[in-house]
Structure 1
Amino acid sequence: MIENSASVHWEGSGKNGQGQISTQTGALEHYPYGFASRFENDRRGTNPEEILAAAHAACFSMAFSFACEKAGFATTTLDTQASVRLVQQGEAFVIDRITLTLRASVPGIDEVRFQEIAASAKRNCPLSRALAGVAEISLHATLAPAAATA
């Protein structure tokens, strides 16, 4: 069993408050976030949706790489972007869509098998499973042409 943690220190109220996020590994240490970085595009801090996007992209990338390896294909490079959409529904805010965009170099794989493995990795990565309540989690996977060997 693996358990990881993060913590938040928050001061102030609602719109005027300011928080700091720290992770167990120290990757984030007292990293700022607040209303402006979440709702007003202030780039001096982060926000929960950005952190969720990073986590989902990282989890999916590993799941895809492991699934390729299990199927007998070695991944060369993977680039994954995750976009998390936060929308207001009535009085509440909801994450209603996550889009994963993958570009991968996997020598020897054909397009059909590539798409099958990518779809399976999206369904089965731990974060996709944890986020099952999100109405839409989509995947756009592109197989990069194999690099020429010298």
Structure 2
Amino acid sequence: MATTRNAHTVWDGNLTDGKGVVTFDSSGIGEQPVSWPSRAEEANGTTSPEELIAAAHSSCFAMALSHELTGAGTPPTRLVTSAAVTFQPGVGITGIELTVEGTVPGLDESAFVAVAEQAKAGCPVSQALAGTEITLRAELV
């Protein structure tokens, strides 16, 4: 069954001096402020589209990797993933670096890296971001 998730943003003012609020409608987890300075300069307690993409990518990749590892007969005990999304004003998103540390009994480092690469390719968020350079660093702990 297909699912649809929703969020909306209310923006007031121009790009550089304005500000907005992102509301997570589907989950009801609340609202987060968003602004141009939080995107192009320091976050200062305010989110950005790139941080939201990083959250989506790290969680989707963790799910995809867990699925791949379980399917290979080596379910993980723990996966700690992060995504760093780089934004260049005037250019856009220039890259995403995924990092994962895994505790996976019965799997060696090279096999873990190979499965992580498969998961990166199969991750729906990675696929949605096709055309963006996505690098991966994977290691067992």
Find the aligned partners of 1:53 and 1:103 in 2 and give their Cα distance.
16
| 1:72-91 per-position Cα deviation (integer Å, ceiling 9, x unaligned) | 01111111111001124xxx
Instruction: Give the drift of 1:113.
Output: 1.6
Q: Counterpart of 1:138?
A: 135
Q: CA RMSD in A?
A: 1.1
- Measure, in 2, the Cα distance between the counterparts of 1:95 and 1:42: 16
Correspondence for 2:82: 81
- Residues of 2 paired with 1:143 and 1:42: CA distance? 31
Using the aligned pairs only, state the percent identity: 40
The two structures have a TM-score, normalised by structure 2, of 0.94
* Structure possessing the higher radius of gyration over alpha carbons: 1
**How many angstroms does 1:13 deviate by?**
1.2
1:125 aligns with 2:126: no
- Is it true that 1:95 corresponds to 2:93 in the alignment? yes
Number of matched pairs = 139
Cα separation, 2, equivalents of 1:42 and 1:125: 27
Distance 2:37 2:95 in 1: 22
Which consecutive residues of structure 2, in runs of 5 or more, have no partner in the other structure?
A: none
1:26 pairs with 9, 28, 44, which one? Answer: 28
- Out of 114, 117, 129, the residue aligned to residue 116 of structure 1 is 114
Q: Distance in 1 between matches of 2:74 and 2:23?
A: 37
Ranges in structure 1 where 5+ consecutive residues have no aligned partner:
145-150
After TM superposition, the score normalised by the length of structure 1 is: 0.88
- Matches of 2:64 and 2:16, distance apart in 1: 37
Which whole-Å CA distance do the structure 2 matches of 1:69 and 1:21 have between them? 35
Which amino acid in the other structure matches residue 44 of structure 1? G
SS of residue paired to 1:61:
helix
The CA distance in 2 between the partners of 1:42 and 1:139, in whole Å, is 24
